[in-house]
């Protein structure tokens, strides 16, 4: 099923790209359902909102939404070669939510994220790492170890870190759908606003 989802996303992305003017530069947002925009329109997910912001600010970039619902950091690593074929100038890495929900070991998350960052940089992409947290019911020890992975990877690889992808969104019922996990369209706008200051320094006019 994971491969089928990835193939479906690649078809959708290719269709979207052919329907819009091609830009000189590419940003790829590699993530899960939070990036894919589960429950909202494609144009309402934060990658599309970032692309609109880029155009308004005078940057000639297109943003490819490489979010796949249910994906883990291991799944993102398996899809990385496909993402890098797009020759992105910037790769946003927003993975780990499903690792946490499944109780995956923080060490495995750290290893996967490190490989993604290092391989992307080796291909010439600048990387923005977006942090994730797990709900407190997973236990304080696990929650602390999980959250610490992102700062650890950022320090070790020297890439910028947006500390928490869902900053200002998580836990706010006004910004989340009925499942309490996936942001509404307004929640996606908040994500895009919080990512922008971290993304902006990585861009070239």
- Which sequence positions are flagged as catalytic? 33, 179, 182
- Which of 41, 34, 30 has the alpha carbon at shortest distance from 6? 30
Cα–Cα distance for residue pair 23/54, rounded to 1 Å = 11
Query: Edge to edge, what strands does the sheet with 161-162 contain?
Result: 61-67, 25-31, 90-94, 126-130, 161-162
Report the distance separating Cα 187 and Cα 36, nearest Å: 13
Cα–Cα distance, 32 to 68 (Å, whole number): 5
């Amino acid at each position: 099923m994971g491969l089928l989802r990835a193939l479906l996303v690649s078809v959708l992305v290719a269709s979207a790209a052919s329907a819009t003017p091609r830009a000189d530069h590419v940003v790829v947002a590699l993530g899960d359902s939070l990036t894919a925009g589960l429950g909202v329109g494609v144009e309402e997910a934060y990658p599309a909102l970032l692309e609109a912001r880029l155009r308004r600010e005078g940057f000639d970039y297109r943003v490819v939404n490489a979010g796949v619902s249910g994906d883990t950091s291991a799944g993102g690593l398996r899809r990385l070669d496909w993402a890098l074929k797009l020759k992105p100038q910037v790769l946003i890495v927003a993975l780990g939510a499903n690792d946490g929900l499944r109780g995956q070991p923080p060490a495995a998350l750290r290893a996967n994220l490190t490989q993604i960052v290092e391989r992307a940089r080796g291909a010439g992409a600048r990387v923005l790492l977006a942090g994730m947290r797990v709900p407190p019911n997973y236990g304080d020890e696990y929650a602390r170890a999980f959250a610490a992975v992102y700062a650890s990877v950022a320090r070790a690889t020297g890439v910028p870190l947006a500390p928490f992808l869902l900053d200002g969104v998580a836990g706010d019922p006004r910004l989340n759908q009925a499942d309490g996990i996936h942001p509404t369209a307004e929640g996606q706008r908040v994500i895009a606003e919080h990512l922008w200051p971290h993304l902006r320094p990585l861009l070239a006019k």
